[in-house]
Amino acid sequence: MLTLPRPLDVPFTDTSAEALRLSLDHGRIAPLAARRIDVPTVAAPTDTEFTLAEAAPHLTLTLTVIGSSHQAILGEDAFIETFACLGEDADGPSPSRPQWDHENIRHGRWAGFTEHRFTATRTHVTGDFPRAAAEVLAAGADRAFTADDHLSVAFPGQPGALTALSLTAAGPDRIAWQSWHCYPQHGEIVHSSSELRRST
């Protein structure tokens, strides 16, 4: 179900899609808005005498909007994906520029997950930007795993300045989410797809 973006009374601090960086090493950034989602860590039981909540321990995935885009946080900082305008001098290992339209795969250990996949695309909008941003909101709501797994915020000052995130899959072996970042000052929309997988 489509919900209107939450309005924020803070300036839109993103500069452009070109300034975005991806990091799996950056610490938490205080969020402007967040959505905390429980995800199962084991398959649902086939015995109907037990509920999923009783039989399946959960992790939490927190999708957050920050002043410079988004973070996705698994558990208590077991994994943090930061896709934001971090600047060239960000703390920790240098964040990487997104390789547009190319899947980036990293291996590690994050609360039992061993593979992170990330893809980002950049679209230049030549027509009505607020209309294109409204289509982003509809796409995010349509792709959300459930009606409660979608977060969107609108920034003041420029129509169409918004960020939206959706959980798109949640299971014991795979968690996936997507994000949309809209830059009306440059006529750009960035769409990212992220996924954590367990080794088989």
Residue ranges covered by each domain of the chain:
17-43+57-197
What whole-number distance in Å separates Cα of residue 64 and Cα of residue 66? 6
What whole-number distance in Å separates Cα of residue 159 and Cα of residue 154? 9
Average pLDDT along the chain: 83
Q: Alpha-carbon torsion 28, 18, 12, 150, what sign?
A: negative
Residue 68 CB partners (closer than 8 Å, separation 6+) = 13, 14, 29, 84, 85, 86
Predicted confidence (pLDDT) at residue 100 exceeds the cutoff of 80: yes
Q: Calculate mean pLDDT across residues 159-177.
A: 91
Can you give the pLDDT at residue 9? 57
Q: Calculate mean pLDDT across residues 39-60.
A: 58
With pLDDT > 70 as the criterion, what percentage of the chain qualifies?
A: 78
Q: Calculate mean pLDDT across residues 109-131.
A: 94
- Which token pair is 71? 């973070």
The matching CATH number, chosen from 3.30.60, 2.70.98, 3.30.70, 3.40.1000, for 17-43+57-197 is 3.40.1000
